[in-house]
Chain A
């Protein structure tokens, strides 16, 4: 529904909007930063949540990512690379926080809960169509690593593989093949369910 109003996650329109806003902000237009934050924060949310952070920690990481950008915008040499820069910075920070907090926080439970299509939760009520519940169930049957990787590449079509590999503890070279395998597995799961 809202997906039709806003540029879709993988649509290039979103990246054009972000690049344009970043350029204008760097040229001195302060309001353009608000635009950039509004457009990219939801994307960063999914990038960070894919790393297994709980909602509160995810929000903090998203905020810190923007702080890092504001303090170090000079390090973004190419305006076209702004989305990738943001996503990579967010992911690196998210993995770091995730690693540091797994000892003290029951992150895994929350991740599992988030994966269950609970009919009582407000989020789940939003989703009533069969296609989504089938897909949700199919995703749930994939290995956790596949779920994380697919969520990452769904939201960020061309992620920085080295930061993905680091977090998923996989060799960089195997991300591409794993992505393909996970998509095939998902297709099989979807086929079996219909």
Chain B
């Protein structure tokens, strides 16, 4: 068989469509992200209700821990409908963020510097069924979390307003 350039390229395109297909929710993710930007002014602002500095190496005395290097900070934010717990920890020089949203509703969560309208550094993630989420490699510095509840088909849209945390330091 002798394929023309166009036929060959058509076959290559089909091949990649099969072997490396775009995620099913790619367009939905884009639309959610655009909605986030759209709603930037209408976000419910959560307030910081508690901040706890957990001393490093408390639980494991065996670990040699350099003070000020490995540390954990727990933050709790609250709004009218949701509470968000965030734990920022540094282990072996690797920073990570774990969070929980209560009540547990599927959410798209964005992490990024405050006030940047168009960020190349903003990261996105989805919370799991239990309302947990994590960012395994957050950028350091000031940041905020934008949380966008994913309304399911059966619930009414007005039930889940998007919300944002005040800036905090990573």
| B and A form one assembly | yes
What are 26 inter-chain pairs, A to B, with CB distance below 8 A?
Answer: A9-B10, A10-B6, A10-B10, A34-B31, A37-B27, A37-B31, A38-B27, A41-B26, A42-B17, A42-B21, A46-B16, A46-B22, A59-B29, A60-B124, A62-B30, A63-B33, A71-B117, A97-B120, A117-B19, A126-B21, A127-B19, A151-B12, A151-B16, A187-B2, A187-B8, A190-B3
Q: Which residues in B have some Cβ–Cβ distance to A below 8 Å? A: 1-3, 5-6, 8-23, 26-27, 29-31, 33-34, 37, 117-120, 122-124
A160 located at the interface, meaning its Cβ lies under 8 Å from any Cβ of chain B in the complex? no
Q: What's the least CB distance linking B126 to chain A, in Å?
A: 11
Contact check: which of B10, B12, B118, B123 meets A68 at CB < 8 Å? B118
- Given A153-B9, A186-B8, the answer on whether A37 and B30 have CB atoms closer than 8 Å is yes
Q: What's the least CB distance linking B42 to chain A, in Å?
A: 16
A127:B18 contact, CB within 8 angstroms: yes
A41:B118 contact, CB within 8 angstroms: no
B27:A124 contact, CB within 8 angstroms: no
Bound Cα distance A55, B26 (Å): 11
Give 8 new A-B contacts, CB below 8 A, not counting A8-B10, A127-B19. A38-B27, A41-B27, A67-B118, A123-B19, A127-B18, A139-B12, A150-B12, A183-B9
